[in-house]
């Protein structure tokens, strides 16, 4: 699992002043159609999985037909300095070539390094459109060791919002700081617990589409050999990539959840949720009756649509269902995820947090998220 020691976690970095790159005008492409960056932070318990996924990427890129398609992989691992590679197809086979080496003095789980790498790929492989894949441990937006341990039901040595580089992690707010607005066509989070309405809303200006799982993600991650060609279709086949992810695990009697989020719908959904929370007469909801997505006695991630509709009037609930069907154009889940039963009637593809169910430290951090300040504050 992508959650420490036995399972896997979520990603994120430190904010830095160098994020002024976020406001730079886009670089004119040189005929390149699309550049996809895999931001791979593997200086953690996922290090052994990195080589297998890169091999799959090379297989996938070998099937891509197009001079304007660039697959770049930023990898930090234990056996080398952080390096940006390009994976190309040569005589029908994938080839991986280093194009830039970085100093390890700057941690890869920082705004400074992620911003630098994104700026570099726009210079080294300027494109008409871009995609971003986030690869590492993750724990969603939850931050502290105490709650991360309870999320997994295991003792977690180092929690991570999104990335874990030798024990240093990046928060969701810093992740959003590191990614420039309006650059990426899609962001795919191949990491645990990244499929929450709170994270999607935090990244609403960062991509047209966002793909993530509300549960953990098994350590094999997505099938890169099948999905890389999807990302380089003239119009990225994001539904196909999600379907490949689901089919890969379902066909093996394994476990998976996945959802495609249309970020253009997030503001409209947030407006309605703000209205629902402001007008609800429901004092509390029995969270034991909600679909949950984390395996622990203390549940933190609940189904977004199921929970919010319980707070809504009948008219609001109808509108919420309609908007959510547009917000999430594709979703899939196996009937179980390890010890969690997943009810297809209460699987919206997105999780959400219910106030009062996390530690005090995590709830304090929750109040810094855009979703809280838009919808709940």
Nearby residues of 200 by Cβ (< 8 Å), 6 or more positions away:
210, 212, 261, 263, 266, 350
Residues 85 and 229 in one domain: yes
Residue 285 within a domain: yes
Residues 121 and 31 in one domain: yes
Q: Which domain holds residue 220?
A: 17-264
Residue 80 within a domain: yes
Write out pLDDT tens, residues 191-236: 999 999 999 999 999 999 999 999 999 999 999 999 999 999 999 9
Residues 134 and 281 in one domain: no
Q: Classify residue 55 as exposed, middle or buried by CB count within 10 Å of its CB (0-12, 13-18, 19+).
A: middle
Give the span between the Cα atoms of 336 and 340, in whole angstroms: 5
Compute, in degrees rounded to 10, the torsion defined by CA atoms 119, 120, 125, 128: 0
The whole-number pLDDT of residue 17 equals 31
Residue 144 scores a pLDDT above 70? no
Q: Is the pTM of this model over 0.85?
A: yes
Residue 239 within a domain: yes
Which contiguous run of DSSP H or E holds residue 368?
Answer: none
Residue 3 within a domain: no
- Percent pLDDT > 90 in the chain is 77
Which contiguous run of DSSP H or E holds residue 87?
Answer: strand 80-90
Residues 255 and 334 in one domain: no
The whole-number pLDDT of residue 27 equals 46
Domain final residue pick, 264, 298, 324: 264
What band does 32 get if pLDDT is binned at 50, 70 and 90? low
The whole-number pLDDT of residue 156 equals 40
The whole-number pLDDT of residue 10 equals 37
Domain count, the chain: 2
Give the span between the Cα atoms of 146 and 163, in whole angstroms: 18
Residues 201 and 278 in one domain: no
Residues 98 and 109 in one domain: yes
What band does 143 get if pLDDT is binned at 50, 70 and 90? confident
Residue 4 within a domain: no
Residues 348 and 231 in one domain: no
Paired tokens of 358: 């996390």
Per the CB < 8 A criterion, the answer to whether 79 and 48 are in contact is no
Residues 259 and 271 in one domain: no
The whole-number pLDDT of residue 351 equals 98
Rounded mean pLDDT, 155-168 = 68
Mean pLDDT of the chain: 88
Domain final residue pick, 248, 264, 280: 264
Write out pLDDT tens, residues 285-307: 999 999 999 987 678 999 999 99
Residue 129 within a domain: yes
Residues 362 and 219 in one domain: no
Residues 253 and 365 in one domain: no
Residue 308 within a domain: yes
Residue 184 within a domain: yes
Calculate the CA 311 to chain-centre distance.
Answer: 27
Write out pLDDT tens, residues 79-95: 889 999 999 988 888 89
Residues 250 and 293 in one domain: no
Domain final residue pick, 245, 264, 283: 264
Residues 235 and 141 in one domain: yes
CATH number of the domain that residue 162 is part of? 3.40.50.11970
């Amino acid at each position: 699992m992508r959650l420490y020691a036995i399972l896997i976690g979520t990603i994120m970095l430190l904010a830095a002043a160098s994020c002024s790159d976020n406001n730079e005008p886009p670089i004119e492409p040189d005929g390149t159609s699309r550049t996809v960056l895999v931001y791979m932070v593997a200086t953690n318990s996922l290090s052994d999985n990195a080589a297998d996924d890169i091999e799959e990427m090379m297989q996938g890129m070998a099937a891509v037909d197009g001079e304007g398609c660039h697959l770049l992989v930023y990898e930090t691992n234990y056996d080398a300095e952080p390096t940006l590679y390009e994976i190309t197809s040569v005589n029908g086979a994938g080839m991986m070539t280093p194009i830039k080496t970085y100093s390890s003095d700057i941690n890869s789980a920082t705004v400074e390094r992620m911003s630098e790498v994104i700026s570099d790929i726009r210079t080294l492989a300027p494109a008409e459109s871009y995609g971003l894949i986030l690869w590492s441990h993750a724990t969603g937006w939850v931050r502290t060791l105490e709650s991360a341990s309870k999320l997994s039901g295991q003792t977690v040595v180092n929690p991570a919002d999104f990335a874990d580089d030798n024990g240093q992690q990046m928060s969701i707010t810093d992740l959003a700081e590191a990614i420039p607005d309006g650059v990426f066509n899609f962001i795919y989070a191949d990491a645990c617990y990244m499929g929450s309405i709170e994270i999607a809303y935090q990244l609403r200006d960062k991509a047209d589409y966002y793909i993530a799982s509300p549960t953990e993600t098994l350590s094999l991650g997505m099938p890169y050999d099948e999905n890389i060609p999807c990302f380089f279709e003239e119009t990225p086949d994001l539904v196909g990539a999600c379907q490949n992810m689901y089919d890969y695990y379902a066909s093996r009697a394994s476990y998976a959840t996945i959802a495609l989020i249309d970020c253009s719908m997030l503001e409209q959904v947030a407006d309605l949720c703000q209205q629902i929370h402001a007008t609800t007469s429901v004092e509390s909801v029995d969270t034991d009756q909600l679909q949950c997505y984390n395996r622990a006695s203390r549940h933190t991630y609940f189904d977004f649509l199921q929970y919010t509709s319980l707070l809504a009037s009948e008219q609001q609930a109808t509108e919420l269902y309609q908007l959510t069907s547009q917000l999430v154009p594709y979703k899939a889940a196996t009937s179980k995820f390890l010890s969690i039963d997943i009810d297809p009637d209460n699987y919206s593809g997105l999780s959400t947090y219910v106030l009062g169910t996390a530690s005090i430290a995590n709830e304090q951090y929750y109040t810094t998220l855009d979703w809280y300040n838009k919808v709940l504050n």
